[in-house]
Amino acid sequence: MDQQQLREYLDQLNQAIEGLHAPEADKDKLSDLIVDIEQQLTEPLLTEPHSLVEQVDEMVSGFERDHPTVAGILNNIMVTLTSMGV
């Protein structure tokens, strides 16, 4: 259930990135995060799991003022990762 929910949030984030009025560097960071999370789901030992949660948390802080929708999706991703024990 959590993996399915996480994939839905990642899809939402992908859609949000497409319409995001932000510098390309910010969009690239979000896209890279999606790749990192997907890798963690398929091959859990490749990345340090706690660093993903920290990375998402930092992004929530960075986006919440100017892009609250993206920050909300990121927060949902962070909560789901935490509940999965990642």
Rounded to whole angstroms, the Cα distance separating 79 from 62 reads 17
CA–CA distances in Å: residue 14 to residues 32, 45, 46, 85: 11, 24, 22, 23
Computed on alpha carbons and rounded to an integer, the radius of gyration of the chain in Å comes to 12
Judged against a pLDDT cut of 80, whether residue 49 lies above it is answered with no
How high is the mean pLDDT of the chain? 90
pLDDT of 42 reads 84
Q: How confident is the model over 2-43, as pLDDT tens digits?
A: 889 999 999 999 999 999 999 999 999 999 999 999 988 887
pLDDT of 51 reads 83
pLDDT grade, residue 46 (50/70/90)? low
